[in-house]
Amino acid sequence: MKLHYFPLSTYSQKVLIALYEKEISFEPEVVQMMDPAAMAVYSETYPIGKVPLLVLDDGYKIPESTIIIEYLETHHKTGSTLIPSDPDTARKVRFYDRMSDFYLNNPVVTLLFQQIKMREYMEVDLEKARKQLSLACEHLNQNLSDHKWLVGDDFSMADCAAIPALYYMQHVFPTENLTHLNRYWAQAQERESYRKVQSEFVPIWQGMMAKASP
* Predicted confidence band of residue 142 (pLDDT cuts 50, 70, 90): very high
Helix (H, G, I), strand (E, B), or coil: what is residue 33? coil
Percentage with pLDDT > 90 across the chain? 94
Residue 213 has pLDDT above 90, yes or no: no
Average pLDDT over residues 52-80: 98
Q: How far apart are CA 112 and CA 100, in angstroms?
A: 16
* Predicted confidence band of residue 214 (pLDDT cuts 50, 70, 90): low
Average pLDDT over residues 46-68: 98
CATH 1.10.15.40, applies to 87-212: no
Cβ–Cβ < 8 Å for 42, 49: yes
Longest dimension (CA), the chain: 53
Where along the chain do its domains lie? 2-75, 87-212
pLDDT at 212: 72
How many other C-beta atoms can be found within 10 angstroms of the C-beta atom of residue 167? Answer: 20
Q: How far apart are CA 212 and CA 197, in angstroms?
A: 23
pLDDT at 46: 98
pLDDT at 181: 98
DSSP annotation of 3 reads E
Tens of pLDDT, residue by residue over 112-136, are: 999 988 889 999 999 999 999 999 9
- As a dihedral over the C-alpha atoms of residue 77, residue 187, residue 152, residue 182, rounded to 10 degrees, the angle is -140
Does 108 or 212 have the greater pLDDT score?
108
Residue 98 has pLDDT above 80, yes or no: yes
Q: How far apart are CA 16 and CA 162, in angstroms?
A: 13
Tens of pLDDT, residue by residue over 148-183, are: 999 999 999 999 999 999 999 999 999 999 999 999
CATH class of 2-75: alpha beta
Alpha helices in 3-64 (DSSP H): 10-21, 36-45
List beta partners, residue 3. 28, 54
